[in-house]
Homo-oligomer: A and B are copies of this chain.
Amino acid sequence: MAGGPIQATMMTMGLTLADILARAGRLFPEQEIVSRRPDKAIARQRFAQFHDRAHALKAALLRAGLAKGEAVATLMWNNAAHLEAYFGIPLAGGVLLTLNLRLHPDELGYIAGHAGAKTIIVDDILLPLALEIQKRTPIQRIIAVNWNKTVLPASVIDYETFIAGPWDTKIDPIAEGDAAVMCFTSGTTGKPKGVVYSHRAIVLHSFAIALPDVLAISHRSVILPVVPMFHANAWGEPFACAMLGAKLVLPGPHLDAESLLDLCQSERVTMTAGVPTVWLAVIRALDAEPARWPGLKGMRVLVGGSAAPESLLRDIARHGMVPAHGWGMTEMTPVGAIHSFKTKFDAASEDERFRHLSNQGLPLPLVETRIVNDAGEAPWDGKTVGELHVRGPFVAAAYHNQPDAADRWTEDGWFKTGDVAAIDADGYLKLTDRTKDLVKSGGEWISSVDLENAIMGHPAVVEAAVIAVKHPKWDERPLAAVVLKPGQSLDLAVLREFLAPKFPKYWLPDAMVAIDQIPRTATGKFQKSVLRERFKDWSWA
């Protein structure tokens, strides 16, 4: 043909956080960011200020000599200043490194050192921890957001002083493949591993989670991420809310149920998101005072981070809120799938719908899924389980400087999630367990998560974890560690009777212990490795 192959004629600019920040400032200057301060007072800021202050932080970091690709750590709760850091650091060419303040200082020191961070931005109330980290790392500069207007140590720079000075909206060239944000996975074994998100991955993820079938983020939305901004980007919500102009309500350090419910009601929150343990506490508060928060009707409550027990989803609905369920991983920027009902379920019974909602849902656009077991790639029949593999442009291809972790990827380029799952003919994903949490009994696999979620449906139970315990005959057998409601009792025989209609007989736990609380990881998930350690010498006698 004349002139050879036809070439595309489109503009080729990259996908960067600069687009998101510019849109937030120009199209939604009056939109609000609400922050709960350490003293519980409410601070309000407009997107116009957020835009300007993010650029001021960018300019200040460049004046301070930030190098391209250099990590800048944050040690902060969910608040407006943290949001400024989400944009100011990457737009200065730096890499936002969010430190999980629930980790031990030794671990945080390892992370900051591994990333080479020399600067840390910190909420004043977290200064003691920052100083502990500094002892263990090459951190040279601590910048504190002085919420409480107290006198800072002489070695600490006041955030307002730091960002004062000239700034403009000019941004040095950023390629969409450049590093923007770095998060560490909170593995229960081994050293934490760093995932480095590109600008491109974050922009694509923001589009994907904003879709109507995912989180449905609009400039009419009011979104309260309970999930921390120091862990997996608060599921990407800060970026997507800035892009779409949604009001952000940031709870600061006040994550108790009462504070969260007050804030949801007073700010007319339309969607909130967090791990199951947060919502278990919220349900207890609502049950205790059912008339106190009438303003929550219709609010969407996204449960993620761990599989949601069906009883929790029902409890959310019972209080007039709309339960949503999803799944993700730090390695996926981080949302991988969100449940939404296809129209074929419109006629289903309430029971069927709740049962179905305990699936993790449909993968986001650009996320491919497959199930692989010893027999190869599994059919999408909703039954055949295997390890879930994923790939896509916002999935990690490696960890930062961690070549020994290459076994987490297959030779054909998929990420091995470590989750055991099945996929049905409609594409719905059903996670049954972590590979390492499965119970192998007499050659058969038992899902600890399915058992836990069923046990949590018992009226006497607050929460429960099921672990594998060595068994002389069956290799492993399930043990249920159960936290009971005050004044309630439960024994193994009653528990087995309660579970019997739902599971094959060999799935039923052979042991039950009542404990005070389930150990948690730094991100609020059940830390079953601690239970396995505690009960490793369990005697079946």
Contact = CB atoms under 8 A, between A and B. Distances in A.
Nearest to A362: B27
B396 A26 contact: no
A12 B393 contact: yes
A541 interface: no
Contact of A4 (B11, B69, B95): B69
A19 B177 contact: no
Interface stretch (A290-298, A300-308, A337-345): A337-345
A19 B530 CA distance: 41
A373 interface: no
Interface in A84-131: 95, 115-118
A515 to B, nearest CB: 38
Nearest to A68: B5
B196 A427 contact: no
Given A6-B115, A115-B6, A365 B11 contact: no
A211 B220 contact: no
A196 B1 contact: no
Interface string A298-324: 000000000000000000000000000
A391 interface: yes
Given A1-B70, A26-B427, A342-B219, A396 B196 contact: no
A146 B219 CA distance: 47
Nearest to A1: B116
Contacts of A363: 27
A211 B211 contact: yes
Interface stretch (A160-168, A200-208, A452-460): A200-208
Nearest to A118: B1
Instruction: Provide the main secondary structure of the chain A interface.
Output: loop
B70 A6 contact: yes
A11 B427 contact: no
B344 A30 contact: yes
Given A12-B177, A116-B1, A340 B395 contact: no
Given A365-B19, A427-B28, A399 B4 contact: no
Interface string A202-227: 00100110111100111110000000
Nearest to A415: B11
Contact of A196 (B7, B13, B30, B116): B7
A204 B207 CA distance: 9
Nearest to A392: B11
A339 B394 CA distance: 30
Nearest to A19: B366
A196 to B, nearest CB: 4
A433 interface: no
Contacts of A182: 6
Given A11-B395, A218-B340, 16 more contacts: A1-B117, A8-B180, A9-B396, A9-B398, A10-B198, A11-B392, A11-B413, A19-B365, A23-B365, A29-B426, A207-B207, A211-B212, A212-B218, A213-B244, A220-B340, A220-B341
12 contacts: A1-B67, A1-B117, A1-B118, A9-B397, A9-B398, A15-B366, A30-B426, A207-B365, A213-B218, A213-B245, A219-B342, A220-B340
